[in-house]
Amino acid sequence: MESSWEKVKLEMKQSLPDHSYRMWIQPMGFLESGANVVKLSCPNSFSKKRIRENYLAGLEAQFRKLGCADTKIDLMVETAPAKKKAVKKSSVKAAPGKTRTKAVAGTFPAVSAAPRRTNRPRQMTLPGLNLRCDSGRMLKKGYTFDRFVVGDNCDFAYSAALSLAQHGSANNGALYLLSDTGLGKSHLSQAVGHHVMSQGVSDKVYYVTAEDFTNEMVSALKDNTINYFKEKYRKKCDVLILEDVHFLSGKDATQKELAMTLDYLLDAEKKIIFSGCYLPDEIPKMNEQLKSRLTLGLVTKIDTPDFKTRVKILKNKSSYAGYVIPNDVTDYLAQELCDNVRQLESGLMGVARKGALMGEKIDINLAQSVLSTIARNRKAITVDSIKKLVCTEYSLSEQELVSPSRKKRVVKPRQVAIFLSRKYTDQPLKQIGRSFNRYHATAIYSINAVEKQLKQQGIFSEQMNHLYRKIETGRLK
């Protein structure tokens, strides 16, 4: 029967998409057989659930093709012998007037811990639940490999991320995912973390943005706890996911600390995933030591999805959300919303929700009414039209906007115009920079400056939302 199982696996490999086979079927193993029952192992209970729901019928059908008509499959969770770890006592020197306990991996600063229970095995964290990570932000629930739609625009990036999650090595322990906003680099990078944790490889997955890393380091310096910070990232981290690398521009101290941390992780053959909108060489004020480490591994780009891939994305999201969208409406959305995945998702949700709330049939007319409020006419949105809008809003002339002036009343509108040009046009960054008589490095700096100010959620955010609405509704004059 074990030989029959190998034949079944081969048939499943030929009939399933490569990434689905590698994710779910390949890790399964043969345990035993008898009385028309085949016992197969799964890496964990989440994998067992997904296989039962999506692949069990197909597996049993393949056994029937081999002449095992009455064979039933019994899925078992693979168990591994518990590893005993020596408990090491360590003393931590407390700052004057403060009492500290031993730092727990993944928390910073250290807090008092409840008494440890030694008579109960640790419960593994599984995808599909609220997966935690050991530092920074939570991994998003749906950002897993099986939820990622693979197309020609991202097949290499997907394969590289999956390979790193499954194997990784000293020669391929780092990956840099490059793409514009909303194309899936966050999904892929977090999928690596989900996979590592769900397979029980490690739960020391640190997911942070470059801004989080910088703020945490500054806080450690202020609190005189920098040694905890260094130990956490250098010795207690098995997978580091660092997003928005371009935020490090101009932060020299953070760059130096990160470069040294990466040396520790790479020497220890840990997994590192970077993501950013620009290549390291294009990020202004980035020191050479960090640049070399960011590009030490594989650099792969995610492009804008083509029509066929956009249709697959919409159908995938409809399936998971429980939406019933006619094929002609799906095709229409894929045709009209061609910028990024977030835009596709926004259009899909808009159509589904309006249909449900208004009790209307989901058809082309409904989709057109929804897209009229979110879709943009690209031909009408140009760098020149954005310049005119910004000049009108900020009471400037176009000559002032592109002049060498460093006055605040000119610099801020110029940065806003560059940011909007990047967001709403297909022009490459170098061309946008030239349109404002600036180098592309200055254009990147301007975009970073606007993004940083937007995160403060103040009056500036309201001003930008006002500009967004004008551009998206065609009121550029």
Q: How far apart are CA 477 and CA 473, in angstroms?
A: 11
d(CA 55, CA 21): 10
The overall average pLDDT reported for the chain is 79
Q: Using CA atoms, how far apart are residues 73 and 40, in angstroms rounded to an integer?
A: 7
Q: Which amino acid is at 305?
A: P
Among 85-89, 123-127, 243-247, 418-422, the range with the most confident prediction by mean pLDDT is 418-422
Checking if the pLDDT of 72 tops 60, the result is yes
pLDDT in tens, 140-152: 888 888 889 888 8
As given in the structure block, the two tokens for residue 475 are 């009121």
Rounded-to-integer distance, Cα 20 and Cα 139, Å: 21
What was the pLDDT predicted at 474? Answer: 66
Which one has a higher pLDDT value, 469 or 378?
469
- Spatial contact of 228 and 238, defined as CB atoms under 8 Å apart: no
Return the pLDDT at 60.
84
Element (H, E) at 97: none
CATH code for the domain defined by 307-375: 1.10.8.60
Element (DSSP H or E) covering residue 183: none
What pLDDT was estimated at residue 416?
93
Query: Span 2-77: which CATH code?
Result: 3.30.300.180
Cα angle, residue 46 at apex, residues 55 and 238 outer, rounded to 5°: 125
Sheet holding 298-301, edge to edge: 135-136, 205-209, 239-243, 271-276, 174-178, 298-301
Contacts of 381 (CB under 8 A, 6+ apart): 424, 425, 471, 476
Beta bridge partners of 301: 178
Give yes or no for residue 117 having a pLDDT over 70.
no
Q: What is the mean pLDDT of residues 29-47?
A: 83
| Predicted TM-score (pTM) of this structure | 0.59
Per the CB < 8 A criterion, the answer to whether 425 and 450 are in contact is: no
CATH homologous superfamily for the domain 135-301: P-loop containing nucleotide triphosphate hydrolases (3.40.50.300)
Of all residues in the chain, the percent with pLDDT exceeding 70 is 83
pLDDT tens figures, 188-214 = 999 988 888 887 777 788 888 888 888
Where in the chain do CATH 3.40.50.300 domains reside?
Answer: 135-301
Candidates 100, 124, 123, 120; CA nearest to 112 is 100
Residue 104 is predicted with a pLDDT of 34
Angle between helices 383-394 and 408-424 (to 10 degrees): 140
What does the DSSP assignment read for 158-176?
A: HHHHHHHHHT--SSS-EEE
- Structure confidence at residue 476 (pLDDT): 64
Q: What share of the chain is helix, strand, coil (3-state, %, to 5)?
A: 50, 10, 40
Q: How confident is the model at residue 26 (pLDDT cuts 50, 70, 90)?
A: confident
pLDDT at 103 exceeding the cut of 80: no
Q: What's the per-residue H, E or C state across 298-341?
A: EEEECCCCCHHHHHHHHHHHHHHHCCCCCHHHHHHHHHHCCCCH
Q: What is the pLDDT of residue 418?
A: 92
Which of 279, 210, 302 has the alpha carbon at shortest distance from 250?
210
CATH (one of 2.40.30.10, 3.40.1110.10, 2.130.10.10, 1.10.1750.10) for 379-472: 1.10.1750.10
Residues of the chain with CATH 1.10.8.60: 307-375
Q: Which residues contact 405 (CB under 8 A, 6 or more apart)?
A: 411
Q: How far apart are CA 192 and CA 145, in angstroms?
A: 8
> Could you report the per-residue pLDDT of 16-25, keeping only the tens digit for each?
767 678 778 8
- Which stretch of DSSP H or E encloses residue 435? helix 429-435
- Asked if residues 475 and 376 have their Cβ atoms less than 8 Å apart, the reply is no
> Which stretch of 29-33, 80-84, 181-185 has the lowest confidence by average pLDDT?
80-84
Residues β-bridged to residue 72: 37
Do β-strands 298-301 and 174-178 pair in parallel, antiparallel, or remain unpaired?
A: parallel
**Rounded distance between C-alpha atoms, residue 185 and residue 167, angstroms:** 20
> Mean pLDDT lowest for which of 97-111, 182-196, 222-236?
97-111
Contact between 226 and 212 under an 8 Å Cβ cutoff? The reply is no
Q: Is 239 helix (H, G, I), strand (E, B) or coil?
A: strand
Q: Where in the chain is the domain with CATH 3.30.300.180?
A: 2-77
Environment class of 415 (CB within 10 Å of its CB; exposed 0-12, middle 13-18, buried 19+): buried
The torsion of the CA quartet 265, 271, 276, 279, rounded to 10 degrees, works out to: 70
Question: Where does the chain hold its CATH 1.10.1750.10 domain(s)?
Answer: 379-472
Which pLDDT score, from 0 to 100, does residue 415 have? 92
Residue 99 pLDDT > 80: no
Please tell me the predicted confidence (pLDDT) of residue 118. 40
